[in-house]
Amino acid sequence: MLVSLSIRDVVLITRLDLSFGSGLSVLTGETGAGKSILLDSLGLALGARADSGLVRAGAGKLSVVAQFDVPPGHPVLDRLAEHDLDTPADSGAELLVLRRVVGADGRSRAYVNDQPASVGLLRRLGEIMVEVHGQYDTHGLLDPALHGPLLDAQGDLEAPLAACRDAWAQWRAAAHAHAAMLRDLEQTRAQEAQVRAILDDLEALAPSPGEDARLAERRTALMHAEKVAEGLSAALTALTQPADVDGALRAAQRSLERIAEVAGGTVAPIMEGLERAAIEVAEVLAQLERANADIDLDPRHLDQVEERLFALRGLARKHDVAVDDLAGLAERTRARLAALDAGGDDVAHLARAEQAARETYLGAARTLSDARAAAARALDAAVAAELPPLKLDKARFVTGLDSLPERDWGPDGLDRVTFLVATNPGADPGPIHKIASGGELARFMLALKVVVSRARPVPTLVFDEVDTGIGGATAAAVGDRLARLAREVQVLVVTHSPQVAAMGDHHWHVAKAADVADSATVTTVTPLDDDQRREEIARMLSGATVTTEARAAAETLLRAGGRTPAACREP
């Protein structure tokens, strides 16, 4: 709720600091005293459009600071967190401080919790914390975008609404999957001839993984076959001619074997070394003979290898892949064509899934619509009961439920919810802000707020002259409903009605006074004690001359409203 309002240099206000409490707070004073300046100042702190004409004459700038006590879990805390704005704490409570500065040149600056912010953010935060209802400037419940959420909250429709939103999300996901498959299938079909040509090329060549390296190695060997053959032959000749190295080693072994028994251990290591050497030489000779025999000296084979290698590399360049990826490209191309062949079945499956999700959504949405219709009837009846005492007995309040075209369906269902009124018998209901006059509009809003006060978490309501054009029992009914509303939320009301003023928990008097120091007229706001309050209500009853009868009537109104002198406290 609003806990304080500090105003500096706004029109006739030089310096003003007000503290607010819970319940019903009333502001009274003669016409032109400056009550509207207070509301204009509060509006600036809430992000209203700035006007340099509001800067007090002779001042360089104005400033307004509104401080709120934020209840735990209130939506404004989430909005602050979204913008990384810290919330200062006072005795453990969360605070929200909105500040607006407007220069005489018209330039405006906004601050949230002493951190620079945009005026747009200030306005959005203000709309969450305060709702203003006046004859000419009204927001909140008059915004058609709020009517649906308000009806859902008032009717406790969280469960069917959640089911509808979940079904909508599943339908959208199914529709997206279906559409994506259709796009892919259409794209593949458009390229089918090209894809099949690619596969024909790949299958004709039948590349295998690693073939590029093998062919390159084979090509190198074939290109140097004669030179390799010469080298192998020379090596084989060196080992066999003019002497046979293997035979010489074996002969040496036989010579040592004949003296081994009489030589003791002297020749044993030598014989072992000769044995190893003989084995190695025999293996080398066998390898040289095999390598020499395997040499391909047929020039046609080199042509075949080069032709295959160049064909593979050309195909790889054509499809912008590595040669070793040609086999993988062939597999992917086959899979793509297989998907094309099976695509019709997949699309049909997804189409059935989308249709099933649509039917589920429609079922959930129609259940929500039925629940809304019942909630609308209950809301209409509750508001209708509030209208006669507010001198709106000939008026009708109707919660309109219109079916949306399919293109406008959404997570919140199939309905457009609109609050409508008819002020004359037989007239068709129309949008509330277009049908009701200024005074009627404020009273309609009061009746509606009394019924739905718990459904919309706006902690502070402001009513500007909600009692215009009424008096007597109707004014008393307005005061009673404001008092009832103030049990749920904080209510500030600017009033000319003594019946309404007598219902307040707190009472301020707004007046003009002469500032001797500046030789100017200023607006003052004074909290009233018991006697001052009785005197102010008596003035409202009798006019300029306050009579004994007026004071007695004021006392009666205070007692009737449960505001005995003991209960009349300064805020």
Look at 328 and 336; give whichever has higher pLDDT: 328
Q: Which residues contact 368 (CB under 8 A, 6 or more apart)?
A: 157, 160, 161, 163, 164, 413, 414, 415
Q: What is the pLDDT of residue 319?
A: 85
Q: How many CA atoms lie within 13 A of 165 on its CB side?
A: 7
Q: How far apart are CA 323 and CA 317, in angstroms?
A: 8
What are the φ/ψ torsions at residue 90 (nearest 5 degrees)? Answer: -130, 110
Task: Give the tens place of pLDDT for each residue, 377-411.
Answer: 999 999 999 888 888 888 899 999 999 999 999 99
Closest CA to 326 of 219, 210, 193: 210
pLDDT, mean of residues 449-467: 80
| Other C-beta atoms lying within 10 Å of the C-beta of residue 311 | 14
pLDDT band at 437 (very low <50, low <70, confident <90, very high): low
Tokens representing residue 278 in the block: 């003989």
Q: Which amino acid is residue 238, in one-letter code? A: A
Give domain limits for the chain.
Answer: 189-341
Specify the pLDDT at position 93.
Answer: 62
- Statement: residue 434 has pLDDT above 60: yes
Rounded CA-CA distance 378/376 in Å is 5
DSSP class of 55: B
Query: Treating both helix axes as pointing N-terminal to C-terminal, what angle do 299-318 and 326-386 enclose, rounded to 10 degrees?
Result: 10
The type of residue at 418 is: T
Residues 6+ apart with CB under 8 A from 338: none
The model's pTM is 0.63
Within 8 A by CB and 6+ apart from 438, the residues are: 135, 136, 468
Evaluate the CA torsion angle 274, 277, 282, 285 in order and state its sign: negative
pLDDT at 569: 39
- Contacts for 237 with CB less than 8 Å, ≥ 6 apart: none
Q: Which two tokens stand for residue 221?
A: 């060997």
Mean pLDDT, residues 335-342: 74
Share of the chain above pLDDT 90, in %: 30
Question: Where do the DSSP E strands lie in 365-440?
Answer: 396-403, 415-422, 430-431
Q: Give phi and psi for 530, each to the nearest 5.
A: -60, -50
Query: What per-residue confidence (pLDDT) applies to 441?
Result: 77
Whole-number pLDDT of residue 256: 79
Which are the contacts of 480, defined by CB distance < 8 A and separation ≥ 6? 389, 503
The region of weakest confidence among 318-332, 413-427, 461-475 is 461-475
**Per-residue pLDDT for 549 more than 80?**
yes
Query: Among 124-128, 233-237, 313-317, 379-383, whose mean pLDDT is lowest?
Result: 233-237
Rama region for 409: left / alpha / beta (φ>0; ψ in -120 to 50; rest): beta
* Nearest partner of 66 among 110, 23, 24, 96, judged by Cα: 96
For residue 277, give both structure tokens: 């050497």
Q: What is the pLDDT of residue 261?
A: 76
pLDDT over threshold 80, residue 432: no
CB 442 within 8 A of CB 139: no
SS3 annotation, 78-96: HHHHHCCCCCCEECCEEEE
pLDDT of residue 564: 53
Pairing type for strands 2-10 and 13-19 reads: antiparallel
Is the pLDDT at 170 greater than 80? The verdict is yes
- Asked whether the beta carbons of 494 and 463 are under 8 A apart, the reply is yes
Chain mean pLDDT for the chain: 84
What is the average per-residue pLDDT within 257-264?
A: 76
Could you report the per-residue pLDDT of 183-227, keeping only the tens digit for each? 887 877 777 777 788 888 888 888 888 888 888 777 776 676 667
- The helix (H) or strand (E) run that includes residue 131 is strand 130-133
pLDDT in tens, 7-65: 999 988 889 999 999 999 999 988 777 788 888 899 999 998 888 889 988 899 999 99
Distance in angstroms (rounded) separating the CA atoms of residues 453 and 396: 20
Closest C-alpha among 221, 363, 210 to residue 301: 221
pLDDT tens readout for residues 91-146: 456 889 999 999 999 899 999 998 999 999 999 998 889 988 765 454 566 778 88
Rounded mean pLDDT of 347-352? 89
pLDDT at 436 over 70: no
The total of other beta-carbon atoms located within 10 Å of residue 227's CB is: 9
pLDDT of residue 232: 67
- pLDDT: is 279 or 238 the higher one? 279
**pLDDT tens, residue by residue, 266-308:** 778 888 888 888 888 888 888 877 776 666 666 787 777 778 8
Residue 570: the pLDDT is 39
pLDDT reported for residue 543: 77
